[in-house]
Structure 1
Amino acid sequence: MQPTYSLVIPIYNEEATIPEMYRRVGAVMDGLDGPCELILVNDGSRDRSLALLRDLRDRDPRVCYLSFARNFGHQTAVTAGLNFARGRIVIVLDADLQDPPELIPAMVEQWRAGYQVVYAQRVQRRQESWFKRLTAYGFYRVLRHLADVDIPTDTGDFCLMDRQVVEALNAMPERNRYLRGLRAWAGFRQTAIPFQRDPRFAGEVKYTFRKSLALAIDGLVSFSKVPLRMSTYVGLLSAAIALLMGLLVLYWRLFEPNSPLTGFATIAIAIFFLGAVQLVSIGILGEYIGRIYEEVKGRPLYTLAEVKGFEHQRPTPALHTPPPP
């Protein structure tokens, strides 16, 4: 039977949370008004996560799973789940239970009211450090100010999407995927449901500072050209400062020959300043050029080692089709 609801959950070293996650998600699926499928995407886990997914599949035919040949990352795992999802309504959430599955019925009600995207918006982050809260608060507001599209603040991948939206996302071939940005770019009628984000149920945090920073850079570079313009503006500002300093040095040489400001320190500061500006500008260019390089190679987004529950389905290819020679 074609499912009405598809729940997509990426899994990476989540053996401590899978039993409780399945219990809570299963209870929500039992209360929905149509057939469901639970798509679990094993993102190259090194613990017993895959064995637990196999066991769930044996016990519950609603459970389907994909297992990557290696770790490809959270955004790619969600993308794979969207490629394979068959439901008219697709819900994406994380396995750590920071995204409460009990919020799904309220999302469905908003979908019935005519919204094609219903995203969960965090109003409070429980038991997170002040540094995490501060950096997340700042990033979302900077991104919204700089991005070419209106990306809602304080939102993650926890959302409900209509089939039409999922098809639009599956048609996007880019590799460096910032799904909450792509979701906003796609358009359609969207609304938010506020919620308080719970602490992780068990296990270790998967989005370390380094991974969070990489995701933030992906979001900024994928949806804004402002960093490129900023490097130009900083270069012009540096040129103006250099010209001003040149005039000041000339003045000091002519009228204040004994001034200490005309010595080695002034020259060194100017050299280091201009060198820093050049290196930052080159780094910004490198971020954009690196993404172009990734796109033109045309490799698949992921490789699958094991698939269960989709034996008679041809998924939407998650490939970037290279241009003809």
Structure 2
Amino acid sequence: MKLSVVIPAYNEEESIPETLRTLYATLKKYNIDHEICVTNDNSKDRTEEVLKSLQSEIPTLVYFTNKGPNGFGYAVRYGLERFSGDCVAVMMADMSDDPEDLVKYYNTMVEQNVDAVFGSRFIKGGKVYDYPRLKLFINRIANFIVKLATGIKTNDTTNAFKLYKRETIEGIKPFMSPHFNLTVELPLKAYVRGYSYAVVPNSWTNRKYGESKLKIKEMGSRYFFILLYCMIEKFFSRGDYMKKK
């Protein structure tokens, strides 16, 4: 089963080399057939030049430049329309996600034959390093609300780092979120539409370089909109969008 990894990148010239080299070395070590798909989200720094030079040492690296509209959700969606694998993971460009965890996701999907694998940083075996206290507080409240409202069996729905089969991605289209709320839209739609999933622990490490693109003040209502949309679909769509058996 070929694995694709979609990585959105905006002004990540400092972080992206280590991220991609570590990811490639890990997947090669475990002999996993893969491609690494980076969406350069119209970066204003040297991200595209760095990607071009890295292609000579990472043969599985392909990159696209999203000319617009731009934003985290648009960049991920750009990659999700272009990957070639049988399954696809969304990872960050800032070294916050551990490639060893991706191997766990992949092996879980193969062994359990689930439609998706969700990572959780807040179950036994999960870890966070240098997580800003305010963001952590808001994260735990938001995820509690999502779990309570929908019944999804994970406490880290907002965690972007997840793995989906190609059929799952096709089954949860069309995508609506242009921003970070895509991280909630993907798993909630998969859950609401009856796709199977497993939850495994993963770790998260705060970025070394640059600044986070997530602005909490701007995202609250957008997360709530997607949560509301998925709840309406779950309770009122009469199964029109459910996974075909």
Q: TM-score range by the shorter chain?
A: 0.7 to 0.9
CA separation of 1:173/1:19 partners in 2, compared to 1, >3 Å: closer, same or farther?
Answer: closer
Aligned to 1:133: 136
The amino acid that maps onto 2:71 is G
Worse-matched range after superposition: 103-112 or 67-76: 67-76
Q: Does 1:192 align with 2:199?
A: yes
Q: Is the 8 A contact 2:5 2:36 kept in 1?
A: yes
* TM alignment of 1:278-317, pairs within 5 A: none
Give the 3 Å change call, closer, same or farther, for CA 160–221 of structure 1 in structure 2. same
1:115 is matched with 114
Contact 1:36–1:62 under 8 Å retained in 2? yes
Distance 1:167 1:46 in 2: 32
Q: Is this contact kept in 2: 1:117–1:162, CA < 8 A?
A: yes
Aligned equivalent of 2:162? 159
Pick the aligned partner of 1:201 from 204, 208, 212.
Answer: 208
CA distance in 2, matches of 1:191, 1:215: 27
Per the normalisation by structure 2, the TM-score is 0.80
| Corresponding position of 1:37 | 35
Contact 1:125 1:133 in 2 (8 A): no
How many residues align? The count is: 220
SS in 2 for 1:84: coil
Equivalent position SS for 1:224: helix
What residue in structure 2 maps to residue 65 of structure 1? 63
Q: CA deviation at 1:175?
A: 4.7
2:210 is aligned with 1:212 = no
User: Structure 1 121/71 Cα, relative in aligned 2: closer, same or farther at 3 Å?
Assistant: same
Counterpart of 1:135, as a letter, is I
Q: Please list every run of 5 or more consecutive structure 1 residues that lacks an aligned counterpart in the other structure.
A: 226-325
Residue in 1 aligned with 2:241? none
- TM-fit CA distance, 1:86: 0.9
Tell me if structure 2 keeps the 8 A contact 1:139–1:216: no
- Identical aligned residues as a percent: 25
Letter of the aligned partner of 1:18 in structure 2?
I
2:17 equivalent in structure 1: 19
Q: SS of 2:198's equivalent?
A: strand
Distance in 1, matches of 2:115 and 2:34, equals: 18
State the Cα deviation string for residues 116-149 of structure 1 (Å, max 9, x = none). Answer: 21111112432123211111111111233345x6
Letter in 1 for 2:129: R
RMSD, aligned α-carbons:
2.4
5+ long unaligned stretches in structure 2: 230-245
Relative distance call for 1:145 and 1:34 in structure 2 (3 A) is: closer
Q: Which amino acid aligns with 2:36?
A: L
CA drift of 1:91 comes to: 1.4
Determine if the alignment matches structure 1 residue 174 to structure 2 residue 176.
yes
Provide the C-alpha distance between the structure 1 equivalents of 2:31 and 2:87, rounded to a whole number of angstroms. Answer: 12
Worse-matched range after superposition: 52-61 or 19-28:
52-61
* Partner Cα separation in structure 1 for residue 58 and residue 133 of structure 2: 41
* Runs of 4+ residues over 4 Å off in structure 1: none
Amino acid at match of 2:140: Y
